[in-house]
Amino acid sequence: MLSHLLVGYDGSESAKHAFQFAVELARLCQARIRVVSVLQVSEGGADACALLMAETNNERLEEIRSELAALAPAAMDRIEIVVLHGSPGDLILEQVRQYDIDHIVLGHTERGALARWLVGSVSADMLARAHLPVTIVP
């Protein structure tokens, strides 16, 4: 039986569909959901990054909370939301280990070949590296 789901969330339509799928799955299994949003910081000094991360985290957390509450208001008591900074694949796998996650749910947005080559695909990365069930929602 599933008890802890992780949903990767970037605000895209496919991420919203993935979240809604996870809410229904969590309802059926009486599981909890950990929503993980990863922001990537690419430039700037350590102090600038620290300030940006603190401000951005709070703003993004409130945006996500509002979006998810609009999608599934009755499920919010089962949901924990975190905003992290770094490589999405690495951070998702770290969350899996730290929080005893037993299922990952991700959206998938089709990108062109160049974009996939430059930034990769989190869903493809998780399918290759995760050692637990992964559901990809279009």
Give the tens place of pLDDT for each residue, 94-111: 999 999 999 999 998 665
Q: Is residue 45 over pLDDT 90? A: no
The residue with tokens 């895209």 is 12
Q: Is 95 left (phi over 0), alpha (psi -120 to 50) or beta?
A: alpha
pLDDT attached to residue 122 = 78
Q: Is residue 79 over pLDDT 80? A: yes
Q: Is residue 47 over pLDDT 50? A: no
The torsion angles phi and psi of 83, rounded to 5 degrees, stand at -115, 125
Tell me the pTM.
0.84
Q: Count how many Cα atoms sit within 13 Å of the Cα of residue 36 in the half-sphere of its side chain.
A: 28
pLDDT attached to residue 50 = 53
Q: Is residue 76 over pLDDT 50? A: yes
Instruction: Identify which of 8, 23, 29, 18 has the alpha carbon closest to the alpha carbon of residue 93.
Output: 8
pLDDT attached to residue 118 = 40
Q: What is the mean pLDDT of residues 41-48?
A: 52
Q: What is the pLDDT of residues 58-67, one digit of tens each?
A: 888 999 999 9
Cross-strand bridge partners of residue 84: 38
Are 18 and 134 spatial neighbours (Cβ–Cβ below 8 Å)? no
Per-residue confidence band for 69, with pLDDT thresholds at 50, 70 and 90: very high
Of the two residues 118 and 1, the one the predictor is more confident about is 1
Neighbours of 108 (CB within 10 A): 17
According to CATH, the superfamily of the domain at 23-108+131-138 is HUPs (3.40.50.620)
Q: What does the domain layout of the chain look like in residue ranges?
A: 23-108+131-138
Of the two residues 78 and 125, the one the predictor is more confident about is 78
Using alpha carbons, list the distances in angstroms from residue 129 to 17, 90, 92, 104. Answer: 23, 10, 11, 12
